[in-house]
Amino acid sequence: MKKLCVWAVAALLMAACTPKAEKATDSGLLQSNFQMEVNGKKTDLYTLRNKNNMEVCITNFGGRIVSVMVPDKDGQMRDVVLGFDSIQDYVSKPSDFGASIGRYANRINQGKFTLDGTEYQLPQNNYGHCLHGGPQGFQYRVFDAVQPNPQELELTYVAEDGEEGFPGNITCKVLMKLTDDNAIDIRYEAETDKPTIVNMTNHSYFNLDGDAARNEAHLLTIDADYYTPVDSTFMTTGEIAPVEGTPMDFRTPTPVGARINDYDFVQLKNGNGYDHNWVLNTKGDVTRKCATLESPLTGIVLDVYTNEPGIQVYAGNFLDGSLTGKKGITYNQRASVCLETQKYPDTPNKPEWPSAVLRPGEKYMSQCIFKFSVNKN
């Protein structure tokens, strides 16, 4: 009897010392795969969850949304954004997947702008232009993270004067809140100690089918009568052109793939498909829906709201099958749609457009809401 008790105690001690298998998130992510050091700062994975069991996973590396689990029309939970399974993949496979983009989202012509009589030269990392803040923009920086409750995450990054050529020390905050009506409410804030330019956005690649197949059948609606044309280097020409009578007209729900290959229309040829900024009719009213993306397959609907004047729609034209994402899925061309709320591209060189200038004593504030629902029809 005494021998049996000794064996029982030994078995309990072994069980207590044996590491438990790590529990994955609903989207299949392991937190340990996101815990490493990048440029001397620790990265991690943070999970937001609301009362409906919607789940959003975020890493402080680049302030990236890694996964978004939402219910489809049959109640099945689906991950509707592209991304990677580990920080190592995000580091070794440079991308904008899910990132908080800054200091300036989109393109600045030849990487140059003049502010208060001083000309600044930025990195030229895209057809001679500065794209998304340069090759070491915010998407490759580690933010400080605080999670005050299960539905909110506060990310902070301090960009130094001269970083990627931009003037001013700026303190940037990205506040992400998962609401109980299945919306991801993203608020960007920034303050500076000298005049600078700021234009932040979220670069999530959405596929509402949840399988990263082609986006051609996704229905897109944009509340915009005008857009900003681009040249063959993807730079805005300065024109604001009507969508009427063109493949750029999404004022009623239209499949993304319905006209995307109409390369007789020079803008689609220039953009290799849709990679353009639309001039929103909502004019900064965050209570008005500015765009909608819907999957006829799953019934998942994404409504977008913003206080920004524009939205860049990018249809994954340059995905080419070279990247393998979460769960071993290959990301082929046009496997997603990006809906980036922001100032117009190259605004610093086009003074007639809404300004991106931030001065000491002012606070930059931008808001984007991604609200999910289901169409069961």
Calculate what percentage of the chain has a pLDDT beyond 70.
95
Residue 72 pLDDT grade (very low, low, confident, very high; cuts 50, 70, 90):
very high
Contact 196, 162 (CB under 8 A): no
- Out of 55, 191, 294, 340, the active site residue is 340
| Separation between Cα atoms, residue 123 and residue 110, nearest integer Å | 9
Residue 203 among the catalytic residues = yes
For 187, half-sphere exposure in the C-beta direction (CA atoms, 13 angstrom radius) is 11
Asked whether residue 203 is marked as a ligand-binding residue, the answer is yes
Residue burial 315-328, b: 16+ Cβ < 10 Å; e: rest: bbeebeeebebbee
Q: Which of 18-22, 82-86, 161-165, 174-178 shows the lowest per-residue confidence on average (mean pLDDT)?
A: 18-22
Q: pLDDT, tens digit, for every residue of 24-52? A: 999 999 999 999 999 999 999 999 999 99
Kindly tell me if the per-residue pLDDT of 103 is higher than 80: yes
* 17 against 212, higher pLDDT: 212
Residue 20 pLDDT level (bands cut at 50, 70, 90): confident
For residue 212, the model assigns a pLDDT of 85
> What is the pLDDT of the chain when averaged over all its residues?
95
**Is pTM, for the whole model, over 0.85?**
yes
Asked whether the predicted pLDDT for residue 302 surpasses 60, the reply is yes
pLDDT value, residue 178: 98
pLDDT score, position 213: 87
pLDDT category at 76 given cuts 50, 70, 90 is very high
- Stretch 115-131: mean pLDDT, rounded? 98
Give the angle subtended at the CA of 290 by the CAs of 286 and 296, to the nearest 5°.
Answer: 130
275 is in an annotated binding site: yes
The answer to whether residue 5 scores a pLDDT higher than 90 is: no
Please give the structure tokens belonging to residue 280: 């929103």
Confidence of residue 4 (pLDDT cuts 50, 70, 90): very low
The catalytically annotated residue of 129, 132, 203, 276 is 203
The pLDDT score that the predictor gives to residue 17 is 53
Domains of the chain: 29-372 (2.70.98.10)
pLDDT score recorded for residue 138:
98
Mean pLDDT of 146-175: 98
3-state secondary structure the chain: CHHHHHHHHHHHHHHHHCCCCCCCCCCCCCHHHHCCEECCEECCEEEEECCCCCEEEEECECCEEEEEEEECCCCCEEECECCCCCHHHHHHCCCCCCEEECCECCEEHHHEEEECCEEEECCCCECCEEECCCCCCHHHCECEEEEEECCEEEEEEEECCCHHHCCCCEEEEEEEEECCCCEEEEEEEEEECCCEECECEEECEECCCCCCCCCCCCEEEECCCEEECECCCCCECCCCEECCCCCCCCCCCEECCCCCCCCCCHHHHHHCCCEEEEECCCCCCCCCEEEEEECCCCCEEEEEEECCCEEEEECCCCCCCCEECHHHCEECCCCCEEEEEECCCCHHHCCCCCCCEECCCCCEEEEEEEEEEECCC
Mean pLDDT of 53-58: 97
264 marked ligand binding residue: no
132 part of the active site: no
